[in-house]
A = this chain, B = another copy of it.
Amino acid sequence: MIRAGIVGGTGYTGVELLRILALHPEVEVAVVTSRADAGVRVDAVYPSLRGHIDAVFTAPEVDTLAACDVVFFATPNGTAMLMAEQLLARGVKVIDLSADFRLQDAKEWSQWYGMEHACPDLIAEAVYGLPEINRERIKSARLIACPGCYPTSVQLGFLPLLEKGLIDCDHLIADVKSGVSGAGRKAELAALMSECGESFKAYSVSGHRHLPEIRQGLALATGKPVGLTFVPHLTPMIRGIHATLYARLESNTEDLQALYEQKYKDEIFVDVLPNGAHADTRSVRGSNRCQIAIHRPQGGQTVVILSVIDNLVKGASGQAVQNMNLMFGLAEDVGLSAVALYP
């Protein structure tokens, strides 16, 4: 059994890790930390976990966590970078669901996240945990930077086009819509149901923190810098991300549907929908799957890719467990076979 620790167990990615790991046949949840709720039973905060998780929140201590085989950081940005080095030194693998190790450039990270990076030396070692790109590197990694939710949906959607060099990379557009759980479990006015229910809006149009992460990933795929306009929106539902991606084709010869099907034919968690289909977020709710549909309206030069995930699963905790499975030599989908909850 893999002994797992979760730092920051009271947020949505934390409780989602617990939901998934509770039924994972190879994992024992050994430590769940929460500074605020230390001493409280986990299932007192989350009644959905009664009978599934028999643990008490503890304060986050390296000594306690060092007894784990793997530690997940489901914390706000800026926490994992303070503890990762010590845990690695004691032989613990680290999977960070926050943004601390996602950007290769520590200076750029500081600009977007508003603080100095506490351990820039580890950045180079950290593997960006998108298995569809980095599977082999993940298997031998000690430190995983789990991708953000927006970046996961956008990268999986654009990748096949970029790798083949089929589109104009200077003018990519990602119009992405997220459910409100993406804002986290924080007492903030803007996340009240009375504020965000029955309403739709864009936010951070001038620049969202996931922009440099997406740009970095797309540039790696195409081998050169890309020009990207990324507009995130808040849609009045709890779970789900729908990315609508626009690019201009520079070639007419390719069968795009076949290209995507070929690219992802061996991927368990990327599902290319049939020609003409539309993806909807409900069909991946609670599952670790990305569903993708390819369109070329009126046969024109603009390709439209629809890419949907559950932001808390493939966009966070499910993907983290997928990484863990790879790191520990397990089948990639152990504990991740749940069917989406529809309706």
Using a CB–CB cutoff of 8 Å, the interface residues on chain A facing chain B are 12, 15, 19, 22-23, 44, 46-52, 171, 173, 175, 177, 179-181, 183, 185-189, 191-203, 205-207, 227, 229-231, 233, 235-240, 242, 244, 246, 248, 271, 273-274, 276-287, 291, 295, 297-298, 300, 302, 304, 306, 308, 312, 337-343
The distance in angstroms between the C-alpha atoms of A281 and B175, with both chains bound, is: 17
The distance in angstroms between the C-alpha atoms of A19 and B341, with both chains bound, is: 8
Q: Is the CB of A192 within 8 A of B187?
A: yes
Q: Is the CB of A194 within 8 A of B343?
A: yes
The distance in angstroms between the C-alpha atoms of A201 and B227, with both chains bound, is: 26
The distance in angstroms between the C-alpha atoms of A189 and B279, with both chains bound, is: 17
Which residue of chain B has the shortest Cβ distance to A201 in the bound complex? B280
Question: Which of B23, B44, B240 is the one whose CB lies under 8 Å from A199?
Answer: B240
Known pairs A22-B339, A271-B51; A185 contacts B191 (CB<8 A): no
Q: Is the CB of A205 within 8 A of B242?
A: no
Q: Which residues of B contact A271 (CB under 8 A)?
A: 50-51
Q: Which residues of B contact A196 (CB under 8 A)?
A: 193
Instruction: Give me the 8 closest cross-chain CB pairs, A-B, nearest first.
Output: A199-B282, A201-B280, A48-B340, A193-B193, A194-B343, A175-B175, A47-B283, A205-B295
Q: Which residues of B contact A240 (CB under 8 A)?
A: 198-200
Q: Is the CB of B233 within 8 A of A177?
A: yes
Q: Which residues of B contact A248 (CB under 8 A)?
A: 171
Q: Is the CB of A185 within 8 A of B175?
A: no
Question: Which of B48, B197, B340 is the one whose CB lies under 8 Å from A197?
Answer: B197
The distance in angstroms between the C-alpha atoms of A181 and B239, with both chains bound, is: 18
Q: Is the CB of A181 within 8 A of B19?
A: no
Q: Which residues of B contact A191 (CB under 8 A)?
A: 192-194
Question: Which of B23, B177, B238, B295 is the one whose CB lies under 8 Å from A343?
Answer: B238
Q: Which residues of B contact A44 (CB under 8 A)?
A: 274
Q: Which residues of B contact A300 (CB under 8 A)?
A: 227, 229
The distance in angstroms between the C-alpha atoms of A44 and B236, with both chains bound, is: 22
Excluding A48-B341, A201-B278, 12 further A-B contacts by CB distance (< 8 Å) are A12-B194, A19-B339, A177-B233, A180-B194, A187-B188, A194-B343, A197-B343, A200-B237, A200-B280, A202-B242, A246-B246, A341-B341
Which residue of chain B has the shortest Cβ distance to A181 in the bound complex? B194
The distance in angstroms between the C-alpha atoms of A339 and B67, with both chains bound, is: 27
Supply 7 A–B pairs (Cβ within 8 Å), ascending by A.
Answer: A23-B339, A180-B192, A185-B194, A193-B193, A202-B306, A229-B300, A246-B246
